[in-house]
Amino acid sequence: MPSSVLSHLLPHSAGGLLLLSVALLAVYQISIYIYNLFFHPLRRFPGPKLAAASCFPRVRHALNGELIQWVVQLHLQYGEVVRVTPNELSFSGAEAWKDIYGHKRAGQPTLTKDPKFYGPPMDGDRVTDIINADDEGHARQRKIFANAFSDRALKMQEPLFLTYVNKLVEKLRGKITQNAEEKFNMVNMYNFTTFGNTYHYARPDIMGDLTFGEPLDMLDDTGYHPWVASIFAGFRFGTYLHCIRCYPALETALLKLVPQSIRDKQKMHNEFSHARVDRRLEKQDARPDIWGLVLEKEGNGGLSKREMYANSNIFMLAGTETTATLLSGMTYYLLSNPEKLAKLTAEIRSIETEEEITIERLQSLKYLHACIEEGLRMYPPVSNGLPRVVPLGGAVVDGQQVPAGAQIYVTNLAANRNPNNFREPSSFIPERWLPESTDFASDKKHALQPFSTGPRVCLGRNMAYHEIRIILAKVLWNFDLQLCSESDDWIDQKIYIFWDKGPLYCQLRPVKREA
| Helix H or strand E segment including 127 | none
Going by the DSSP 8-state scheme, the letter that residue 402 receives in this structure is E
- Residue 285 is predicted with a pLDDT of 63
Give the three-class secondary structure for 88.
strand
Instruction: Find the angle CA(406)-CA(412)-CA(417) to the nearest 5 degrees.
Output: 120
| Helix H or strand E segment including 11 | none
Q: What is the rounded CA–CA span in Å between residue 25 and residue 30?
A: 9
The sign of the torsion formed by the CA atoms of 352, 356, 357, 361 equals negative
- Residue 279 is predicted with a pLDDT of 78
Q: What are phi and psi of 9, to 5 degrees?
A: -80, -30
* Widest pairwise Cα distance in the chain: 105
The sign of the torsion formed by the CA atoms of 410, 414, 417, 420 equals negative
Q: What are phi and psi of 112, to 5 degrees?
A: -80, 155
Q: What is the rounded CA–CA span in Å between residue 287 and residue 479?
A: 32
CA distances from 316 to 156, 231, 309, 434 (A): 19, 9, 11, 33
| Helix H or strand E segment including 71 | helix 67-78
Q: What is the rounded CA–CA span in Å between residue 87 and residue 91?
A: 13
Question: Domain residues of the chain, as ranges?
Answer: 46-510
Rg, the chain, Cα only: 25
Are 55 and 246 spatial neighbours (Cβ–Cβ below 8 Å)? yes
219's CB contacts (< 8 A; 6+ apart) are: 164, 167, 168, 171, 200, 201, 202, 205
Are 130 and 142 spatial neighbours (Cβ–Cβ below 8 Å)? yes
Q: What are phi and psi of 165, to 5 degrees?
A: -70, -40
What's this model's pTM, rounded to 2 decimal places?
0.88
Partners of residue 409 on adjacent β-strands: 90
- Residue 370 is predicted with a pLDDT of 98
- Residue 221 is predicted with a pLDDT of 45
Q: What are phi and psi of 145, to 5 degrees?
A: -85, -10
Are 443 and 422 spatial neighbours (Cβ–Cβ below 8 Å)? yes
Mean pLDDT by groups of 10 residues along the chain of 515 residues: 53 69 79 95 98 96 96 98 98 97 84 84 64 87 85 82 78 73 81 36 48 49 51 71 84 74 70 76 68 65 78 72 89 98 98 93 97 98 96 95 97 98 98 94 97 92 90 94 96 92 92 78
Q: What is the rounded CA–CA span in Å between residue 501 and residue 325?
A: 8
Q: Which fold has domain 46-510?
A: Cytochrome p450 (1.10.630)
Give the three-class secondary structure for 63.
helix
Give the ranges where 213-304 is alpha helix by DSSP (H).
226-244, 251-255, 260-282, 290-298
Helices then strands (H, E): number in the chain?
22, 12
- Of 169, 152, 191, 131, nearest in space to 463 by CA: 152
Partners of residue 183 on adjacent β-strands: 507
